[in-house]
Amino acid sequence: MSKTIHHKVIVKSKGLDTFDDTTKTEKRQKSRKTMTPADIISFNNTEIEQLFNDIKIGREHANEGIKLIPSLTRFSDTLNEHHQHTEIIKNLMQNLTNKKGDHREEFTSCMTATGITTSLISYEMSDRNEKLIEIMQKWKLFLENTKDYIKNRIEYDKLFKEYNKIIEKVKQMNSQTKPDVKKAAQLQEQKEEITIKTIKEGDQLRKLYNEMYVTFMNLMMGSCSKYHNFIKKSPDTYINYQNQFNQGIEKFNTVIDESSDDDETIKPPDWMNNSPNCFHMFQAESMYLESMNYLIQIYAKKILFDPNLALSGFSIDDVNLIFSGIELIRRLHSGILRKLSRCTLETFLSVYSSRVAQIYQVYHNHCSKFGKAFSRFHQCLNSHQFKNFVEEIATSNKIPPLGELLRTPFIQLSQYVPIFTRMKSEFTNNIEDLETLIYVFTRLSGHCELAETNFATAMEMNKISGVPPKQPPYRRFFSSIPCSLNKTEGVMFLFSDTLMFTKSNKEHEQVFVEQYETKNIEKFEINEKQKTVKIIFATRGKKLRDLDLFFNKLDIAHKFTNELSQIGYFYKNKKIFGVDIKLATQLHEDETRLMPKVLHHIFDALELTAPSTEGIMRLSSNVIELDGLIYKIDAGGDIDDNRGDTLLLANTIKKYCAGLPNKLPLKLQITEGVSNIQSILQTLDKSYLAFIERLFRV
């Protein structure tokens, strides 16, 4: 997770605006109403530690910097002597001739200009050195202002140590069966006094440290601004440094602005009252950011600052894994919301279109890490201490549970496509931008759905021990239903590509027994009297062994058959391998593309890499990788991570061609003449022709 930003620095072209950062005083006053004294002390300690380290680092650099002052001063004396020499040279280069006209006049002009330039450069060098000395003097002033910072910290640490002792005594007193009432009252009074004093002293020290560091930042940024403003007058050689400085300041202020936690509510501009779609988007962003703030500012901070969780095995790495993606999303949408609050109707879409690459990258990375992050979160929930802690946070702050909030990005992404689609009638001049946004968010929604599906499947697969290796990497979990197979009681796990029967061992773990591929299910039938289900399997016309399952209740048997129907519907609608190309195009709602878009993506990638790759239709690829990609595509996935693997994609197309139920007409192999061939091709479906055309282009 990124470090907490304490202060906001704004540098403008005209100079430095000083600021008085009270570390969001108004926000603290509101938030403290919901904080316990222990929370306030913990908060102060965290801020004090961060500021103490900042001051310490600043002082270390300052001590090294002020060592240069004597050398810079000596160099300044040398430059003054050098300037005197250049003044003499400037005078010598002037008035070298009194004759006017012809080439002598040009010679005189050039020499004069050279003398003046030499003098100016000397002045510039001297001035720059003086500016550097001025910056080092600011270091020195910072050291003077912060000379007692360790002493201040020691005094507070002594007080905090006393506070801990009193708290420990109170705990011991409370643990006694029959505590001394009088002593307990005295101890409670001491606790209240030391608590009030610790909070007061902590607030004062935090504000003192904050003032020290803010003053230092103002001093340094002011000096640096003066230095770079001076460089504006320098020769072109130094202008690049000035541009670099200006870009850095602009980026600095942008990052601070987008990641600041101002308490002021961000409001929509007035013109959105006449634009329901834009207002709806603003409200959605505002509610979304609120959820992200709950995750980072409440859950993450409280979890990170609680010492008891560390003792239970919960580490900072766990916090980073679970919340790091969320923090990037929060920063992204904080910036978006602020831009929306200042935009006009004409610039509304640009708030999103200018961030398309960043949006895609942030969410794509979040989806790729979601499985590990959410899996770790579920592992942490097995700890009663962690589970009770996060539940207490939700209850005391009256916010949604942590698990629900962690899924918020996936829910939010599903809202963008319909909103942007409705905007087409309003932004008729920006259809191309809207189509781009709709395409990007559609892709991201697919990534999110696949990430959740893979996570749910992985969680169920982890419940089964002894599963054979080389299982397909992409499958979807539907349900797990208790049943009996061959008089063995167990549980049937239903996945999109397989049925896994398991039985329970002595440790109540589900142990793998057997699995059956769903693609071989020919039909199934239920016997309501006997509460059994018969599944009939066949492959390529060859009948396989039937599967007879017994259920304790009829409604469970019906649930099982309903799940089988869902698997069949899912497999039929998602699958493209072995399915008629026109039917697959219709099921995927890709009629405008004439064939499933994933095939277009494969051909797009091949057209870039195939010409420079030898034998793509002759050489084979890794069988496991090929099967994995086919499973992924049939499960609704895309080829994002395999775009550069030419042989794998070429073999995927070969596999697709081999599985097509409608092969090329045999007449094409014996027919001659362009007109005759065209007459045969005209009888084929447009989807088939589009596929052939793209295949021949490769």
For residue 169, give the CATH number of its domain.
1.20.1270
Task: Specify which residues 481 forms β-bridges with.
Answer: 492
Q: Which domain holds residue 386?
A: 270-462
Q: Please say whether the beta carbons of 131 and 230 come within 8 A.
A: yes
The count of other CB atoms within 10 Å of the CB of residue 453 is 18
Q: Is residue 568 located within the same domain as residue 530?
A: yes
Of 255, 287, 317, the last residue of a domain is 255
**Predicted local confidence at residue 658, as pLDDT:** 84
320, HSE (Cβ side, Cα atoms, 13 Å): 6
CA distance 690 to 669: 19
CA distance 574 to 324: 33
CA distance 133 to 71: 10
Q: Which two tokens stand for residue 108?
A: 């005189």
122 exposed, middle or buried (CB, 10 Å; 0-12, 13-18, 19+)? buried
Q: To the nearest 10°, the Cα dihedral for 168, 170, 172, 173?
A: 160
Q: Is residue 601 located within the same domain as residue 522?
A: no
CA distance 279 to 257: 23
502 exposed, middle or buried (CB, 10 Å; 0-12, 13-18, 19+)? buried
Q: Is residue 39 located within the same domain as residue 74?
A: yes
Residue 395's CATH number: 1.20.900.10
Question: How, if at all, do strands 15-16 and 547-550 pair?
Answer: unpaired
DSSP assignment of 530-586, as one string?
TTEEEEEEEETTEE---EEEE-SSHHHHHHHHHHHHHHHHHHHHH--TTS-HHHHHH
Q: Is residue 242 located within the same domain as residue 338?
A: no
Q: Is residue 67 located within the same domain as residue 212?
A: yes
Q: Is residue 452 located within the same domain as residue 488?
A: no
- Reduced to 3 states (helix: H, G, I; strand: E, B; else coil), residue 7 is coil
E strands, 7-136, where? Answer: 11-12, 15-16
Residue 529's CATH number: 2.30.29.30
Q: Is residue 103 located within the same domain as residue 66?
A: yes
Question: How, if at all, do strands 11-12 and 15-16 pair?
Answer: antiparallel
Looking at residue 207, its amino acid is K
CA distance 338 to 257: 9
Given a cut of 70, the residues of the chain with pLDDT beneath it are 1-33, 79, 82-83, 86-87, 89-124, 127, 224, 226-265, 307-314, 473-474, 540-541, 569-574, 586-593, 635-636, 641, 663-671
Looking at residue 63, its amino acid is N
CA distance 287 to 281: 10
Query: Quick one: what percent of the chain has pLDDT higher than 90?
Result: 13
Of 255, 282, 313, the last residue of a domain is 255
Per DSSP, helices labelled H in 382-500 are 384-397, 402-406, 408-422, 431-462
Of 410, 429, 462, the last residue of a domain is 462
Enter the DSSP assignment of 313: T
Domain for residue 611, yes or no? yes
Domain for residue 3, yes or no? no
Q: Which two tokens stand for residue 579?
A: 């399915």
Domain for residue 468, yes or no? no
Q: Is residue 406 located within the same domain as residue 312?
A: yes
Q: Please say whether the beta carbons of 496 and 475 come within 8 A.
A: yes
Residue 612's CATH number: 1.10.555.10
- Cβ-defined contacts of 154-163 (< 8 Å, 24+): 155/201, 156/48, 156/201, 156/202, 156/205, 159/194, 159/197, 159/198, 159/201, 160/41, 160/45, 160/198, 160/202, 162/194, 163/41, 163/194, 163/195, 163/198
Q: Is residue 225 located within the same domain as residue 322?
A: no
- Reduced to 3 states (helix: H, G, I; strand: E, B; else coil), residue 483 is strand
**Predicted local confidence at residue 666, as pLDDT:** 66
Instruction: Output the pTM of the full model.
Output: 0.48
**Predicted local confidence at residue 17, as pLDDT:** 37
**Predicted local confidence at residue 12, as pLDDT:** 34
**Predicted local confidence at residue 90, as pLDDT:** 62
CA distance 158 to 543: 82
**Predicted local confidence at residue 21, as pLDDT:** 42
**Predicted local confidence at residue 482, as pLDDT:** 94
Count the domains in the chain. Answer: 4
Domain for residue 262, yes or no? no
**Predicted local confidence at residue 552, as pLDDT:** 92
**Predicted local confidence at residue 336, as pLDDT:** 92
Q: Is residue 333 located within the same domain as residue 373?
A: yes
Q: Give the CA distances from residue 353 to residues 251, 325, 356, 415, 425, in Å, rounded to whole numbers and listed in that order.
A: 19, 21, 5, 17, 18
Q: What share of the chain is helix, strand, coil (3-state, %, to 5)?
A: 70, 10, 20
State pLDDT tens for residues 278-335. 999 999 999 999 999 898 888 888 887 776 665 566 677 778 888 878 888 988 998 8
